[in-house]
A and B are shown apart, each in its own frame.
Chain A
């Protein structure tokens, strides 16, 4: 095939089928992909991949067909990878009909898909989470690593908070990069692609809700890289655990409400701390965010419930998955609100979601908080709330969330952290 990318003799041989038809198709896909972006060459992947496709949805049969073809061709990822959350029906309090829809109609291919993932190099049976970079999960890239990742919230975290380098790869493309051990060199892998085209000046009276600030930034800059000023007064200059959690939620909202794959936070994220305003591209535009702008954006979120006043029946907290710290914080938050409202249990089905490895640690190392969580009636699951919502039964239910990503993709209604804890405990508005 004709191509513009400059390939090594070994890469050319793969493209010509000398290592099998499957690998040739993988190479052809990535060469076409690289050509579309003017990539001149491939570069080696230096860290394990993270995949976005974790659900054995019947509708994804074309994806499973590719996986089968790869397995039959004897190819495998060069390093063990992690993948987004898998379905968890046991811990989300779903009804008989829901379980039937989940297991038989929607996720009928889950077991077969799990087996495909294992054959292609899945790290282990716990490696299902959108937050693979949490220490309990252990897929933590190093600064400067070249990655073949998908999952928009994970890509933006790896690029921004860690300073690794991954493009916003699509599902399947990230697997191909993992198998080949190479990715086309363009965009966020290059120094030029990491330059900020926007300067965002945060001029708010207090630390903004991470999910609303991220959404506001994403909707404005879309796919561009923002350099955010003004957060240091609230977050300080050290990437503490709490700051990382804030940036995780900020980034997920910016990535889903726009297409942000990398952001720099002045004096805080590794590249911004190192290079400062040298990261700002010439001619960058400026966007000022104040309290009024945040209010305007929050008020613009559509509510698509048939009856906007109806009582919500379920609350999801943890999209992206919660960290160990956040789990502990949320238990405390609910405890305080229950006390305030004079109640002992939450007023609606409330589900916290986190990585299986994080849940295991929480259950074993923080038994006091875990016990409280159980007493409060809160569920703890490794499921993906987004995928729970994407079925004909769940989508009609009034669900509330503090996740701007979940709001964007489903009928779930967004509330801030303080609002949602009060509603979930009360059982309504």
Chain B
């Protein structure tokens, strides 16, 4: 059984991919820095303080999160991994998007032409329902359909 959540598209797009879920704040720099600095072909989350995502693959996934936290390099890091082709396919926020994540997805869209689909305001229910490995599809109007277990 699938469930539908309605959010607000910040960077609109249609995409279908697998979810990875962070219930706490997602620290962009801490998560991406190791794989990015070592020019890996995929990003494995290196944030030791994130028990949900530490050591998990982020590239091509839909990262489901409340907001991003941490260093103000966050947006720039998102922009860089997007340009390198190793970014998540989508970032789906239960809360309002934060300033760092917004910067990252907008910079990627305006300056590199690459796209990280971003939808925010999906609500706490979304983050409670979605689990690692679930397949979800995002529509350009911000509708997120999550395939159930």
A-B complex is real: yes
In the bound complex, do residue B33 and residue A259 qualify as a contact, i.e. CB atoms below 8 Å apart?
no
Q: How far is the CA of A171 from the CA of B39 in the complex (A)?
A: 20
In the complex, A256→B48 CA distance in Å? 14
Measured between alpha carbons, how far is A219 from B39 in the docked complex, in Å?
30
State A392–B40 Cα separation when bound (angstroms). Answer: 13
**Is A151 part of the contact surface with B, judged by Cβ < 8 Å?**
yes
By the criterion CB–CB under 8 Å, are B111 and A169 in contact? no
Chain A residue nearest in CB terms to B36: A59
A52, A173, A392: most-surrounded residue (chain B CB, <10 A) = A173
Q: Decide if B134 is an interface residue (CB 8 Å cutoff).
A: no
Min CB gap A330→B, angstroms: 25
- From B67, B99, B110, A222 is in contact (CB under 8 Å) with B67
B49 → chain A, closest Cβ, in Å? 6
Given contacts A187-B99, A302-B49, contact A36 B10 (CB under 8 A): yes
CB within 8 Å of B: which A68-117 residues: 69, 106
What chain B residues lie within 8 Å of A36 (beta carbons)? 10, 97, 102, 106
* Segment 85-131 of B: residues with Cβ below 8 Å from A: 96-100, 102-104, 106-107, 109-112
Contact for A168 among B38, B72, B111, CB less than 8 A: B72
Quote the shortest CB–CB distance from A198 to chain B (angstroms). 15
Chain A residue contacts of B34, Cβ below 8 A: 390, 395
Nearest-neighbour CB distance to chain B for A27, whole angstroms, equals 10
Contact A33 B106, beta carbon cutoff 8 Å: yes
Contact of A173 among B27, B37, B39, B103 (CB under 8 A): B103
Cβ of A167 within 8 Å of any chain B Cβ, yes or no, is: yes
Query: What mask results when residues 1 to 41 of chain B are scored 1 for a CB within 8 Å of chain A, else 0?
Result: 00000000010000000000000010101100110111100
A66 at the interface (CB under 8 A from B): yes
Contact B98 A259 (CB under 8 A): yes
How many chain A residues touch B (Cβ–Cβ < 8 Å)?
Answer: 47
A170 in complex: contacting residue of B10, B25, B39, B73, CB < 8 Å: B73
**A155 in the interface, Cβ–Cβ < 8 Å?**
yes
> Do A33 and B103 form a contact, CB below 8 Å, given A53-B73, A173-B75, A223-B67?
yes
B29 cross-chain contacts in A, Cβ below 8 A? 409
Least CB distance from A147 to B in Å reads 13
A392 to B110, CA, bound (A): 32
B79: Cβ under 8 A from any A Cβ = yes
Chain B nearest CB, measured from A17 CB (Å): 14
Asked whether, in the complex, the Cβ of A62 is within 8 Å of the Cβ of B112, the reply is yes
- The number of residues on chain B lying at the interface, defined by a beta carbon within 8 Å of a beta carbon of chain A, is 43
Asked whether A32 lies within 8 Å of B106 as measured between CB atoms, the reply is yes
Q: How far is the CA of A155 from the CA of B71 in the complex (A)?
A: 11
Contact of B25 among A37, A172, A222 (CB under 8 A): A222
Question: A222 with B69: in contact, given A62-B80, A62-B112, A408-B49 (CB under 8 Å)?
Answer: yes
Complex Cα–Cα for A117 and B79 (A)? 19
Q: Is the CB of A151 within 8 A of B72?
A: yes
With A and B bound together, what is the CA distance between A302 and B106 in angstroms?
33
Chain A residue numbers with a CB within 8 Å of B110 are 25, 28-29, 32
Known A-B contacts A29-B111, A259-B69, A409-B71; A63 and B97 likewise in contact (beta carbons under 8 Å): no
- Which of A1-22 touch B at CB < 8 Å? none
- Sorted nearest first, the 7 A-B pairs with minimum C-beta distance are A170-B75, A170-B103, A171-B76, A62-B83, A150-B72, A259-B69, A36-B102
Chain B residues in contact with chain A, CB under 8 A?
A: 10, 25, 27, 29-30, 33-34, 36-39, 48-49, 66-76, 79-80, 82-84, 96-100, 102-104, 106-107, 109-112
* Residues of A near any B CB (own CB < 8 A): 25, 28-29, 32-33, 36-37, 52-53, 57, 59-63, 65-66, 69, 106, 150-152, 155, 167-174, 187, 222-223, 255-256, 258-259, 302, 304, 390-392, 395, 408-409, 411
Could you pull out 16 A-B pairs where Cβ atoms are within 8 angstroms? A33-B102, A59-B36, A63-B79, A63-B80, A152-B72, A168-B100, A169-B103, A170-B104, A170-B107, A172-B75, A172-B76, A223-B98, A255-B70, A258-B25, A408-B49, A409-B30
